[in-house]
Structure 1
Amino acid sequence: YREWVRPVVTGVTYQSAKGEHVEIRGSEILKNWRAVVGKAGFWDVSLPEAFFGDYNPYNELIYGDWFFPNNPLHTGEVFINGKALQEYVTWSCKSENGQTIITAYFGDLDPNKEFVEITVRPSCFYPAKTGVNYITVRGFHMSQAATQWAAPTAEQIGLIGTNWSKGWIIEDNVISDSKCVGITLGKDRASGQNVWSADMSKDGADLYNEMILRVINAGWSKDNIGSHIVRRNKIFNCGAAGICGSFGAAYSQILDNEVHDVYTRRNFYGAEMAGIKFHAAVDMVIKGNHVSNSFIGLWLDWMAQGTKVSHNVFEDNDYVDIFMEMNHGPYLVERNRFMSVFSLRDWSEGGTFRKNYFAGLISRAPQDRVTPVFRTRSTEILEVKPIAGGNNLFIANTFADGKGVQPVRPKMHAMDQEDQLIGYGLSIYRDAAMPVMSRRNKFLGKAQPLKK
């Protein structure tokens, strides 16, 4: 099926028939390529605007808050025999005289004899309106969507997404080749759309705090939003994130997913790239996932409270396995294996870390930005305050020393600076503003304990 499924009725199950291989693609097959005279291996095709309908991803640039491209990038993509080509490297596009012209390099291959597809839809499965609740999506292969950047301050449209609803189950699917994000459990459009890009005279953190109030006033609570289950999916080849959500993932369970090969091209910079990333991870369970080669494994950004991260495996994530940013807690990180060269980046407080294996470096940095603290099991704000740092408990963890080699962490954008407090083990917490407790931990090689 080459379509965008837009559910409108609450409580419907979409499921592939037993024993069937059912695919939903956001692309179309493209023939009628013409060899470019004088340029061996290059071909082009001209398409009228009517071919695309109301969405032309070759006129649509990737855009949004905290997105910093090296070059203007389109949401569209060109595939040959199932493999994506890279814009500026092997394909380009332009519009003239009411036509979209795509030029691509296919080398020795004849695109009219091969299987060439181009993405034409912004999603494969996403409701056009908010509040379509209790949808189950099970057993599909979904791929090749021209998705837009999913900033936390915008409507977040993924290859599959929930669009500000409650109680979805997304399970046993294969989700791949999204230009930006695979699964979104995200924010609505009405509460704001890329507000920082619209007014960069203000600090982005201040604008996000203003948005938090708008979202709460619009009904963000356990009664109305979140409580989704995302489990046993295979998610890969996504340009920015495998799974993400701002506000809309609260009270959800992210279970036993395989996420890999995310943000591998590195053809832009930004602040939303991870295998799994959530803003406002309130009372969530993130358990049993395997996240690899995804830049950042798990990124909990702002307001993680009451959330449990357990029994996950993270490896080959070259920025960091888990990034805790702007959270007051409490939250629990338990029985995980952090196997990459950077294990933990801690810009938060109020965490309990129990029975984890940390193979790599740990860094931390207090934050003067402010973020809310909620009433327990609620989205009601009690206070707003900065991150002093500390107030963590480490119990029965094992800290290795990465063979004693301190690698260089790649930058996510030009403003990204390495934390000054960085090392193996817990020595970086010795001067934390709030108390840090350490009990029954093991330190291997050059990894250092909390106390000298």
Structure 2
Amino acid sequence: MRPFNAVAVRFVAMVLAGFGTACGDAATQTAQRRVWHVAQTAEASDENDGTAQTPLRTIGQAAQLAQPGDTVLVHEGVYREWVQPARGGDGPDRMIAYQAAEGERVVISGSEVFDPPWEPVEPNQPRWEHVVRANLPEDLFEPHPRLADDNGQPQRYNPFNTPVRIGPYLTAEERMAPRDPNRAGFPELVVGEVFVRGRPMRQVRTTDQVKATPGSWCAADDGKTLVVNFLSWTKGPVEVTVRPAVFAPERRGLGYIRLEGFIIEHAANQAPFPQAGMVSTRSGHHWIIEDNVIRHAATAGLDVGSEVVAHWRVLQNQDIDEGPWADERARPVHETKLPEGPWPPEYNYVEAPAPSHSHVVRNNRICDNSLSGLIAVKADDLLIEGNTFERNNRRRLTPSENPDLEWVEAAAIKLHVTRRARIARNLIRDQAGSGSGIWLDNTNEAARITGNLVLGNDVGIDLEINAGPPILIDHNVVAFNRIDGLSSRCSVTVRFVHNLSMYNGRWGCIVDYAGTRGQFFGRRFVRPTGCEVRNNVFVGNQRGAIRFPIPKEETERKANRIDGNVVEPGQLFQLSGNANDAPSPEEMANLAKAWLDEAGVAKALWPDFDQWRTVDAWPRGCCNLETFAAAFGGPAARAMELGLPRLWEVTTRIPSEDPARYPEQGSTVEGLDPQYKIEFRDPGWQDVLVDPVADATEDFFGQTPPDGKVPAGPFGTASLQSQRLWLWPPSF
């Protein structure tokens, strides 16, 4: 386990203390605790008493027996089951812990080995073609606790006849209903998946596409048949996903559970909404999830929220049933029958207490999930620290690439309606397609995003439709993202402070209008106010450094703060005007001329206002640093030669003595542990000292600088001492 700094220690202590302390004196607690051993040896049986000599056979059986303070210790093997803890702990000193035995490789899987008689799709198929089909027997699939037949009996869940549905809230029956062949005019994608030698094969929609695409498969005959185009090199063990979850209680609201050291993979889980990760806290509280590999989920790898979403369909649904609640937990008010007349304040989803809260997600590798890595809706006091998120949105489950899908929910980390989340010291790289790095969407409050390395995603850090207590984004390195490095849309009180944003495909930082979208739950926020872009460094971004809405009135010039930034000479800026109530192009030009006159900027440095009058929105408002600074009445940035810093990736093999934390041989991430360092080629950057921001003191490395001015950018005084810094793994 990596060490983490004192600030994080205090945060974890606060989280775990949130629901009180353990009961009884220490001697009583110790006497009550026991270890339940689970193994796959010849002696193992679920009829045993769970000792080291006579272990249990399944983790699920241990999960039924474990009491507060107990540990479920799982020994080497592949456990193909859905683990459903029956209860949680009753305090921070009496958690129920699920742990992989030290030094042993323990996999919990939602798949089964599939070895049927394969038949050629075409009777006279050439030997070098490997397009085959096989039946999926009904008994391959297990009954689902929230699916019932006409007689009220549990119904088997077939993920190969269950379409991927991303969109507004659906009941269990709706989101697990069979495919409709006429819904989109072509067969829908399904949540089931096929793996060969640990690698996912590509799902396509029709048998003809399978024939044309080596390494692909599709579901046919209402999910009763699998059609696969095997490559010669892919022959080997075949696994198919059969379970909708791998580690998730049936009862909602359990608390004080620890999950540590496992490889968790291959769930056939449905997409939001509601949210249902392969690993799910199920609206619980005070979970610690650390040192795991969470990969290859059909949609989201991990959810740590309250499952349901804040949109209208939840508020109007009077029969929400996502399973029973823990005995001591009442159903949240937003899931109960609506009162007559105006709704009282407690029925407002944003204002109501969060059922899910106080989770710690630390030092995990969350990778290769088909949609998102970590998701949470309506969750408070989350700590997400020291994790590696990579290659999520593997199946590119977005409307731009699959038009039958309704919403975009793809990101390494995607949060809705959270309070006081802390996202710190994570490596977030290479989310596919439209997958963003960190995406805080819809009414998140008082979050802090600090010290992260965010590389090669769609948008690096994206804030959308947020208001309330400020969100602080500080001391991050955000680079090589396909669109913008730092982005705030439809939001107010967003603060970008001491970041390095470089080599992104569009803007280093963009703050944009809310337009007509910023009206939710009785709140109205349209034009950005209380936003800050301070003490950042912008290098090599393809369009320019900063895009910000043009101030419409004099009060708006003082409503936001832009200063202390460092940019290259000649970097482009933009005073955007693309909202419904934005000034006309002529008004924009007149405003800018007045500001430039006020600032005494020579006319030779004025922008081409004729270009602003074009009907094309892209060049409108583009300007140099002098014009941008004049718009906000102060020195927005300092231009200087930065020498184009270089970011180096060094990939090393994972040490074999630590197999439980990393994937097994043959997976898509086997044997690779990235290291990153940055090299500055121009020492001038180190000489730019700025006023510190009081509540953004710890730098990228978790160090607090001495009193006085500090360097711009994320590295604090470390950038004064060396021109080469190691960024990952964390060394704090």
Structure 1 position 345, deviation (Å): 2.2
Q: Is the 8 A contact 1:390 1:432 kept in 2?
A: no
In the alignment, is residue 167 of structure 1 matched against residue 286 of structure 2?
Answer: yes
Tell me the residue number matched to 2:217. Answer: 91
In the alignment, is residue 299 of structure 1 matched against residue 444 of structure 2?
Answer: no
The structure with more helix, counted as a fraction of residues: 2
Tell me the residue number matched to 1:34. Answer: 118
Structure 1 position 264, deviation (Å): 3.6
Tell me the residue number matched to 1:272. Answer: 409
In the alignment, is residue 107 of structure 1 matched against residue 231 of structure 2?
Answer: yes
Task: Name the stretch that deviates more: 264-273 or 336-345.
Answer: 264-273
Decide whether aligned partners of structure 1 residues 172 and 194 sit closer, same or farther in structure 2, where only a CA change above 3 A counts: farther
Tell me the residue number matched to 2:692. Answer: none
Q: Tell me the distance in 2 between the aligned counterparts of 1:166 and 1:216.
A: 21
Q: Is the 8 A contact 1:429 1:436 kept in 2?
A: no
Q: Tell me the distance in 1 between the aligned counterparts of 2:266 and 2:352.
A: 31
Deviations 1:40-97 (A, max 9, x none): 301222122222122110111111316998851111000111111111151111236x
Tell me the residue number matched to 1:355. Answer: 498
Q: Tell me the distance in 1 between the aligned counterparts of 2:257 and 2:357.
A: 12
Tell me the residue number matched to 1:20. Answer: 104
Structure 1 position 400, deviation (Å): 2.0
Tell me the residue number matched to 2:728. Answer: none
Tell me the residue number matched to 2:635. Answer: none
> In structure 1, what residue type is equivalent to 2:517?
R
In the alignment, is residue 289 of structure 1 matched against residue 426 of structure 2?
Answer: yes
What is the DSSP-based 3-state SS (H/G/I as helix, E as strand, rest coil) of the residue aligned with 1:238?
Answer: coil
Deviations 1:372-401 (A, max 9, x none): 6xxxxxxxx8x6123322421222111223
Structure 1: any 5+ residue segments left out of the alignment?
Answer: 199-206, 373-380, 407-423
What is the DSSP-based 3-state SS (H/G/I as helix, E as strand, rest coil) of the residue aligned with 1:163?
Answer: coil
Task: Name the stretch that deviates more: 288-297 or 32-41.
Answer: 32-41
Decide whether aligned partners of structure 1 residues 74 and 218 sit closer, same or farther in structure 2, where only a CA change above 3 A counts: same
What is the DSSP-based 3-state SS (H/G/I as helix, E as strand, rest coil) of the residue aligned with 1:327?
Answer: coil
Structure 1 position 38, deviation (Å): 3.2
Q: CA RMSD in A?
A: 3.1
Q: Which has the higher contact order (CA 8 A, sep 6+)?
A: 1
Aligned residues: 405
What is the DSSP-based 3-state SS (H/G/I as helix, E as strand, rest coil) of the residue aligned with 1:391?
Answer: coil
Residue 566 of structure 2 is aligned with which of 438, 442, 450? 442
Q: Tell me the distance in 1 between the aligned counterparts of 2:237 and 2:530.
A: 56
Q: Is the 8 A contact 1:138 1:171 kept in 2?
A: yes
Decide whether aligned partners of structure 1 residues 76 and 385 sit closer, same or farther in structure 2, where only a CA change above 3 A counts: same
Structure 1 position 110, deviation (Å): 7.6
> In structure 1, what residue type is equivalent to 2:564?
R
Decide whether aligned partners of structure 1 residues 197 and 72 sit closer, same or farther in structure 2, where only a CA change above 3 A counts: farther
Tell me the residue number matched to 2:449. Answer: 309
The equivalences for 1:32-111 within 5 A come to 32-36=116-120, 37-39=123-125, 40-53=129-142, 54-65=156-167, 72-88=188-204, 89=210, 90-95=216-221, 100-108=224-232, 111=235
Structure 1 position 159, deviation (Å): 1.1
Q: Tell me the distance in 2 between the aligned counterparts of 1:242 and 1:188.
A: 15
Q: Is the 8 A contact 1:338 1:356 kept in 2?
A: yes
Decide whether aligned partners of structure 1 residues 168 and 354 sit closer, same or farther in structure 2, where only a CA change above 3 A counts: same
Structure 1 position 35, deviation (Å): 2.9
Residue 353 of structure 2 is aligned with which of 207, 221, 227? 221
The equivalences for 1:23-422 within 5 A come to 23-36=107-120, 37-39=123-125, 40-53=129-142, 54-65=156-167, 72-88=188-204, 89=210, 90-95=216-221, 100-108=224-232, 111=235, 114-151=236-273, 154=274, 156-188=275-307, 220-221=352-353, 224-247=355-378, 249-266=379-396, 268-269=398-399, 270-294=407-431, 295-317=435-457, 319-328=458-467, 329-339=469-479, 340-341=481-482, 342-347=484-489, 348-359=491-502, 360=504, 361=507, 362-367=509-514, 368-370=516-518, 384-402=523-541, 405-406=542-543
Task: Name the stretch that deviates more: 178-187 or 360-369.
Answer: 360-369
Structure 1 position 281, deviation (Å): 2.4
Q: Is the 8 A contact 1:281 1:303 kept in 2?
A: yes
Q: Tell me the distance in 1 between the aligned counterparts of 2:546 and 2:375.
A: 30
Greater C-alpha radius of gyration: 2
Q: Is the 8 A contact 1:303 1:371 kept in 2?
A: no
Q: Is the 8 A contact 2:267 2:278 kept in 1?
A: yes
What is the DSSP-based 3-state SS (H/G/I as helix, E as strand, rest coil) of the residue aligned with 1:320?
Answer: coil
Q: Is the 8 A contact 2:197 2:234 kept in 1?
A: no
Q: Is the 8 A contact 2:309 2:377 kept in 1?
A: no
Tell me the residue number matched to 2:85. Answer: 7
Q: Is the 8 A contact 1:66 1:271 kept in 2?
A: no
Q: Is the 8 A contact 2:437 2:459 kept in 1?
A: yes
The structure with more strand, counted as a fraction of residues: 1
Q: Which runs of 4+ in 1 moved over 3 A?
A: 66-71, 188-198, 210-220, 447-450
Task: Name the stretch that deviates more: 33-42 or 303-312.
Answer: 33-42
TM-score norm. by structure 1 comes to 0.82
Q: Is the 8 A contact 1:41 1:109 kept in 2?
A: no
Structure 2: any 5+ residue segments left out of the alignment?
Answer: 1-78, 90-95, 143-155, 170-182, 205-209, 211-215, 318-333, 400-406, 574-624, 631-732
Structure 1 position 251, deviation (Å): 1.1
Tell me the residue number matched to 1:416. Answer: none
